[in-house]
Structure 1
Amino acid sequence: MNVWIYIFVLPALFITSSRAAPVSSPESPIAPYLLPGAPTFELTITQFREKFNKANPLLALKEFRAISSSGATANLTRAATKINENLYASTALERGTLKIKSIQITWLPIQGPGQKAAQEKAKSYMAALIRAFTPGLTVAQSQLNLGKLLSAGKKQGYYARSEGAVRYVVADNGENGLTLAVEPIKLALSETLKDNQ
């Protein structure tokens, strides 16, 4: 499998939704958690990278490079950076402002004696990504949150959980890769509250 194609196609699954039903399979092009008109974080990718690298000097991210896009993603710019041979970060940005709509860490599992160390490094980056958008968390708390997310999403293909104005998405494709995405969501009154007004 061409690793670069995988890392660029998977984030595309996170930015092409037009309805709000759950995804039935990892191959489905529908990602209901990033709907048209979804908000952005108040951070450009450059600001995010500087902040992330300052907070995580041992987990630095290199500069993100733009990826060409068309069709349904014409209002977005996609970009990615390679962390190592089996670990990548990618993002969907609002075109023009380059503010983040979705940011992901993707791990492509490897076999052999280096597997455990590679997996731990991937989890360190994923936990750091969680802390970047929930700054009050300690390292231990972010690792605990990550563990819960990965357990809930294991072998489901797609799993999402919202916490406040942030949504975490796990795309678990087994041996083909594991992605953690972080995205902003609009806060709204629940249907129950609306009905009672």
Structure 2
Amino acid sequence: MKIAPRAALLLSILAFGSASADDRPLDRAEHMPAAPYLLAGAPTFDMTIAQFREKYNAANPALPLSEYRAIDSRDDKSNLTRAASKINENLYASTALEHGTGKIKTLQITWLPIPGPDEDAAQQKAIAYMAALLRFFSPTLSPEEATQRITKLLAQGKGSRYFTQTEGALRFVVADNGEKGLTFAIEPIKLALATP
């Protein structure tokens, strides 16, 4: 299975960008600092990609994820292990893992739009995978609620290279790079403890 060239592109889609304080999309002309998951000390989910995949596949037998394969990234100085899983010709799952522990820093689903008669069906499948990923971390949502939430997030991030919204300990990210792909990601965030 050859996924390395496309998978490297997928992970580069979210490699740059910055969350804004008011959850607004960044203008394409604005300077794009490193994505939060690339920063030193960025939090991780308390699971490895193998643990995630096993639990995700058990909960979503109709939308399975194949084994993630490491991406050769010799030029990457982020000290992360990057991996991707091909779902089909235009849909991929990818991740960045903490070096050493293998814990997840980001989980991403990327849809590469291919114009043609199957484009709408392919987009619906991408949304189904994105909704399943959302439900994995927000299990109280029904499938319909998760689909509505994804649709709303994608609409809010439409045309933005990096749109982010936080909810509790999660950051939802949409990166719309037009013909180069649409990515939805979920990342953990650090919560500040309130002091008395």
Same fold (TM over 0.5): yes
1:87 to 74, 79, 91: 91
Listed as ranges, the matches of 1:1-197 within 5 Å are 4-15=4-15, 24-25=27-28, 30-34=33-37, 35-70=39-74, 71-74=76-79, 76-188=80-192
* Counterparts of 1:53 and 1:165, CA distance in 2: 23
User: Secondary structure of 1:30's partner?
Assistant: coil
> Is the contact between residue 14 and residue 30 of structure 1 (CA under 8 Å) also seen in structure 2?
no
Residues 100-155 of structure 1, C-alpha deviation per residue, up to 9 Å, x if partnerless? 00010000001111111101000000000111111221111111110110010001
Structure 1 stretch displaced more, 20-29 or 155-164: 20-29
* Counterparts of 2:19 and 2:110, CA distance in 1: 24
RMSD: 2.6
Structure 1 stretch displaced more, 176-185 or 24-33: 24-33
> Is the contact between residue 4 and residue 72 of structure 2 (CA under 8 Å) also seen in structure 1?
no
Q: How many aligned residue pairs are there?
A: 189
* Counterparts of 2:73 and 2:3, CA distance in 1: 18
* Counterparts of 2:192 and 2:152, CA distance in 1: 25
Residues 60-101 of structure 1, C-alpha deviation per residue, up to 9 Å, x if partnerless? 000000113354322x10000100000000000011211100
- Displacement of 1:20 in angstroms is 6.5
Residues 149-192 of structure 1, C-alpha deviation per residue, up to 9 Å, x if partnerless? 00100012210000000001000011221000110000126xxx
Looking at secondary structure, tell me which structure has more helix per residue. Answer: 1
* Counterparts of 2:82 and 2:60, CA distance in 1: 23
Unaligned runs of 5+ in 1: none
Q: Alpha carbons of 1:186 and 1:175: their partners in 2 closer, same or farther (altered >3 Å)?
A: same
Q: Alpha carbons of 1:3 and 1:95: their partners in 2 closer, same or farther (altered >3 Å)?
A: closer
Identity of matched residues, %? 54
Which one-letter code corresponds to 1:30 in the other structure? P
User: Secondary structure of 2:41's partner?
Assistant: coil
Q: Alpha carbons of 1:102 and 1:170: their partners in 2 closer, same or farther (altered >3 Å)?
A: same
RCO comparison, higher one (Cα < 8 Å, 6+): 2
User: Secondary structure of 1:59's partner?
Assistant: coil
